[in-house]
Amino acid sequence: MTIQRENPARTDELVGSIVAATPSEVDLVVANARKAQPEWAALDVDSRATAVRTGAERIVAEVDQLAELMARETGKVLGDCRGELLFSASVLRWAADRAPALLADHVIDDDAGRLLMRRRPYGVVAAVTPWNAPVILAVLKLGPALVAGNAVIVKPSPFAPFAIARVVELLGGWMPDGTVQVVQGEAETATALVGHAGVDRVAFTGGENAGRALAAIAGQALTPALMELGGNDPAILLDDAELGPDAMDRLVMASFATSGQVCMAVKRLFVPRRRYDEVVDAYRAAADRVLRIGDPLFDGVTLGPVVTAASATRVRGMVEDAVASGAEAMLLGESDAHTDLGRGHFLRPTLVLGASDSDRLVNEEQFGPTVPLLAYDTLDEAVARANAGDLGLGASVWSADEDRAFAVATRLEAGFTFVNTHNRTGMALRAPFGGIKRSGWGREYGDEGLVEHTQTCVVHAPGAFRPGGSGLGAAAYPV
């Protein structure tokens, strides 16, 4: 089956087409990975790290071409695409740099015995990745899994198949054939790959529905999985929160980067009732400064289209439902004068005032360019409302008092809580990222993100049975 990908900013423009892999083609790709993986794992960790670093430099060398391709297939702003690619190279280098220390054998030899703990690769990792950050969300799996000695098969979204395919080609150029590969397709391809008997581990980033389906398939096969799913991230402004231009610009972009189509974007904004009008004015002024919707290839544009017509319809419907229930939708930012917004899947960003916690716009992940601003009377109330729901990916607390912000942050049910920022400006290579509740399990980034793709294997000689040891009864428990 051939899948065509249109430019979401210019829907009459075809970016390219892919051919979905058949089950037999998935079989062949997995077989190639299984053949290559032992040779790759047999290399010392320094050699694997060098190959990954070399791949990172090859990506950097093509960053301009890759960024334009990514912007055309995803609708993301060109500068954001370039930034994603450069950050992806940093992630690869970081994994390569940390691998020798984290993957080294650990030996304890004392009176209690001799204990050897080794980090071993799983084998073949299936990485199923989304369209909204197609390279970084693949690289967060590729870098750690590869330096650990795994082979990796990437199944990208059909909405963003091209840039990541080239990145995989560049990265794999210094590795045995089959060590890193791409299979293209839709849900059927993902199902065939995740359920394949030759796959030893699954790493998925994406929406809850797809995550449920793939987790069920992996579970049926007893294949261990990492799941990074959606979020309905709350941002709580405390009564002393800074509302100056820098902070407010950061808050606005934390909501609307990639047109709000980011799992860790601000999705609910809680503000003290007595500062409500002040926050509305400051937020709107910041939006006017930093939001310009238009063609992502045009200079000055900070907000592109949403990914599909269906996405636009869904987000528009959420806003309309809230307005029908008494809320007010406030348009934000400005439009680029050189862009024909009717040519693509464009939605003007909106701040929604007066929505109810029962509105879909509040209690579901919008994944689009809209955010509700919600007043609260007490901090306990804000925390309770922020923790409502079954998602727990990210959250943030904003305060002039960092200690106070940290105290509130520890009360929030989120895998990653930012302080005085949110979304990508609050990430760090050293900080593990992932969700709790139904936002998934497992971690990316940080040392935890690297060892996620390893298994701890142990060799143990108890001291009791070594020469001169005290001995232990045949049916005794260890002491």
Catalytic residues: 228, 263
CB-based contacts of 357: which residues, under 8 Å, 6+ apart? 363, 374, 385, 388
Query: Which strand (E) or helix (H) includes residue 241?
Result: none
Residues forming beta bridges with residue 237, ordered by sequence position = 398
CA distance 193 to 217: 10
* Displacement of CA 116 from its chain's centroid (Å): 34
How many residues in total does the chain contain? 479
CB-based contacts of 376: which residues, under 8 Å, 6+ apart? 270, 271, 272, 273, 382, 385
Looking at residue 71, its amino acid is A
CA distances from 252 to 18, 247, 263 (A): 36, 9, 15
Residue with tokens 């109810």: 356
* Displacement of CA 120 from its chain's centroid (Å): 25
Query: Which strand (E) or helix (H) includes residue 8?
Result: none
Q: What is the DSSP string of 189-238?
A: HHHHHHT-TT--EEEEES-HHHHHHHHHHHHHTT--EEEE-----EEEE-
User: Would you say 254 and 425 are in contact if contact means Cβ atoms under 8 Å apart?
Assistant: yes
